[in-house]
């Protein structure tokens, strides 16, 4: 594996682990009232890693085969905890694909964030097993197929929440 791919795998693994750790901490109650802002930062940082994967040429596996790594961890506890923490703002609407399907689709932040974590963890398992090339392939493939869309949708929803929190308060203060 070239130095470029090795460096990208190392960098992506760091961003992936940071995201998983941050998401878990927020799900466990850290962050207090800053939950939306913290999640926005976590999603933005991992989206940068995804953008780098998206801008890179295709990662091709030898034999076009992903080695088995066993069952991925169950993230339902994290998803459920996020659902409880997010409460009424967990549900939101999004256009899934602005070029092919412009209908509004219901989404849940808790589902989006754990879907991103699940894909990142799968790649981390390859990385930790000493297969950085397979990790890069998985992260790139799943970025285009799954987690990139979920991260982008979640980032738009979280940015809207942060904006409403700041701007709606400012409008109220001006009108009083």
Q: Which domains does the chain have, with CATH numbers?
A: 3-58+71-175 (1.20.120.1550)
- Is residue 50 within 8 Å of residue 119, measured between CB atoms? no
The mean-pLDDT minimum among 5-19, 23-37, 54-68, 107-121 falls in 54-68
Of residues 59 and 136, more confidence is placed in 136
pLDDT, tens digit, for every residue of 138-160? 999 999 999 999 999 999 999 99
Does position 173 have pLDDT exceeding 70, yes or no? no
Instruction: Over range 55-73, report the average pLDDT.
Output: 83
Mean pLDDT over all residues of the chain?
90
pLDDT at position 1: 63
- Token representation of residue 57: 């040429």
User: Distance between CA 29 and CA 15 in Å, rounded?
Assistant: 21
pLDDT, tens digit, for every residue of 89-103? 999 998 767 788 788
């Amino acid at each position: 594996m070239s130095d470029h791919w090795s460096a990208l795998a190392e960098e992506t693994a760091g961003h992936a682990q940071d995201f998983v750790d941050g998401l878990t901490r927020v799900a466990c109650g850290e962050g207090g009232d800053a939950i939306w802002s913290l999640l926005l930062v976590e999603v933005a940082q991992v989206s940068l890693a995804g953008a780098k994967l998206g801008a890179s040429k295709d990662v091709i596996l030898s034999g076009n085969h992903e080695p088995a790594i066993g069952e991925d961890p169950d993230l339902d506890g994290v998803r459920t905890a996020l659902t409880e923490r997010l409460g009424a703002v967990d549900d939101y609407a999004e256009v899934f694909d602005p070029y092919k399907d412009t209908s509004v689709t219901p989404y849940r932040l808790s589902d989006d964030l754990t879907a991103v974590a699940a894909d990142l963890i799968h790649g981390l398992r390859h990385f930790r097993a000493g297969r950085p090339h397979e990790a890069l392939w998985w992260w790139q493939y799943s970025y285009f197929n799954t987690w990139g869309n979920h991260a982008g949708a979640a980032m738009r929803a979280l940015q809207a929440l942060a904006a409403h929190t700041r701007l709606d308060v400012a409008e109220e203060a001006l009108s009083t």
